[in-house]
Every structure is written in C-alpha cells, then in structure tokens.
Structure 1
C-alpha cells in the first residue's frame, strides 16, 4: 500500500512539473513558422530557445520513441519481463533455502542464476543498440525541429522575464 502511494505521488509530481510545460500542438507543429536558419549562429540561438520553450513536448517525443523502440523489439520485452518476474518470484518464494537432493539452493544462489540468465538475455536482445538508436533519433528530431522553428515574438522578451 505504501508503494502505491509513492507511485501516485511520483506521477502527480511528474504531471505538475513536466506535463505543465507542454505547449499546444498547433504551436508545436506551426508550419507557418518553419524556415531555414540563415547561419549557424541563428540555428544555435533557435535551438537554445526552442529546447527550453518546447521541453515538455520534446520529452513526449522521447517517450513515444522509447515505447516504439520497445514494441519493435519483442525479445527485449521478453527479457525485461523474465528479469522483473524472476526478481519478484525470488523475492516472494525464495526466502527460505530449498533442499534439492544433496544441494541447498539459497536466495543468493537464485539471484545469481537470475543475473546470469538476465545477462545472456540482454546480450541477445541488444539493448545498447536500441539506446543508441533512441539517442540518435531523438537528437535528430529535436535539434531538427528546434532549428527549423522560428521563435515567437515572446522570445525577444525572454531575457527580461528571467531577471
């Protein structure tokens, strides 16, 4: 019960802090403000401003890409399920040592087997390739969007608001 309360509090905190920064979709996808930056300085200033301005939207983009990456690699989902389920099963049923023939299997031994099995499953599922794909695709999408969207009129007054 206490764990569920912590999860609910965490979700409320995320909703209040991160999701409050979401900009409307018509502002995020405003094709009237699309233009190619004239030079690298303008691109850098656009990226700097837009990454702060659209930070909530970019977080959603990363989350959607993460879910997509997990759903397109079913073996990774299976590996995660086996590891999480295995830890839950060992925690619940493996507290007492188990006598099998001449061998005594302890909770520590079960965790050791689970770690070895988990490492083999993760080696086959290649989560690092998904991580690198996620970093690369997120970076390209976010920086591309941030560089191509012209900041609004409010960007001229942003330094005044921060003071």
Structure 2
C-alpha cells in the first residue's frame, strides 16, 4: 500500500512541476514565429531559450514518443509485461518455499526461471534500438522546433540581431 502512495505522490509532483509548465498549443504551434536562424549562434540561443520555455511540451512529446515506441514494438511490450508481472507475482505469491513432489521451489528458483525466460525475450525485443530511436526522434523534433521558433517578446535574455 505504501508503494501505491509513493507512485501517487510522484505522479502528483510530476504534474505540478512539469505539466504546469505546459504552454498552450496555439503558442507551441505558432507558425507566424517560424523562421530560419541566420547563423549557428542564433540557433544556439533559440535552442537554449526555447528548451527552457517549452520544457513541459517537450517532456510531453518524449512521453508520447515513448508510448508510440512501446505500442509499435509488441514483443518489447510483452517482454516488459512478462518481467514486471513476474516480479510482482513472485513477490506477492512466492515469498514462502513451496513443496512440489520431491522438490522445494524457493523464491530464488522462481527469479532464476523468470530471468532465464525473460532476459532472452527482452534481448530479442531490442530495447536498445528502441531507446536510441526514442533519443534520436525526440532530439530531432525538439531541436528542430526549438531552433526554428523565434522567442516571443517576453524573452529579455534573447538577443535579436
């Protein structure tokens, strides 16, 4: 029960910190502020400002891309579900040793079986490729958006050439 409370508190604090920084879609997708940066210095200044200003929106983009990556890779979803479900089931139903015929099955045996089945399944599901796809796709989207959107008039730290 305490773990559920920790998860709930974590979600509440995430919602208060990150999601409170969400900018409205009209501001995030303001096509009138799109322009090509004149040089690398200007692009760097825009990226620095916009990544702070739109940080909540960018976190939401990364979360949506992560959900898409999991949905589009069903084997990874099955492998993660198997491993997480196995850990939960072993902790809930298998803390005491069980006697099956002549053999005693302990929690250590159950974890070993979970790893023997789950880790090769996870390896086949290629989580490293999915992680690098997520990093690359979110990097291209975020850096592209941040470099092409001009900061608004509220930015006093941004130098206009």
Distance, in Å, in 1 between the alignment partners of 2:43 and 2:155 is 14
SS in 1 for 2:150: coil
Distance, in Å, in 1 between the alignment partners of 2:94 and 2:48 is 52
Question: RMSD value over aligned CA atoms?
Answer: 1.6
Aligned ranges 1:11-30 → 2 under 5 Å = 11-30=11-30
Distance, in Å, in 2 between the alignment partners of 1:9 and 1:96 is 31
Distance, in Å, in 1 between the alignment partners of 2:37 and 2:158 is 20
Structure with greater helix percent: 1
Q: Give the Å deviation of 1:158.
A: 7.0
Distance, in Å, in 2 between the alignment partners of 1:142 and 1:154 is 21
Which piece of structure 1 moves more, 128-137 or 91-100?
91-100
Query: Aligned pairs, how many?
Result: 159
Which residue pairs with 1:100 in the alignment? Answer: 100
Does 1:123 find its partner at 2:123?
A: yes
Q: Give the Å deviation of 1:79.
A: 0.7
- Structure 1, unmatched stretches of 5+, are none
TM-score by length of 1: 0.91
Distance, in Å, in 2 between the alignment partners of 1:147 and 1:36 is 8
Which residue pairs with 1:44 in the alignment? Answer: 44
Distance, in Å, in 2 between the alignment partners of 1:157 and 1:93 is 57
Which residue pairs with 2:113 in the alignment? Answer: 113
Distance, in Å, in 2 between the alignment partners of 1:4 and 1:114 is 24
Does 1:68 find its partner at 2:68?
A: yes
Q: Could you list the per-position Cα deviations for residues 78-100 of structure 1 after superposition, in whole angstroms to 9, with x for gaps in the alignment?
A: 11111111112211222222233
Contact 2:76 2:125 in 1 (8 A): yes
Q: Give the Å deviation of 1:10.
A: 1.4
Distance, in Å, in 2 between the alignment partners of 1:5 and 1:92 is 18
TM-score by length of 2: 0.93
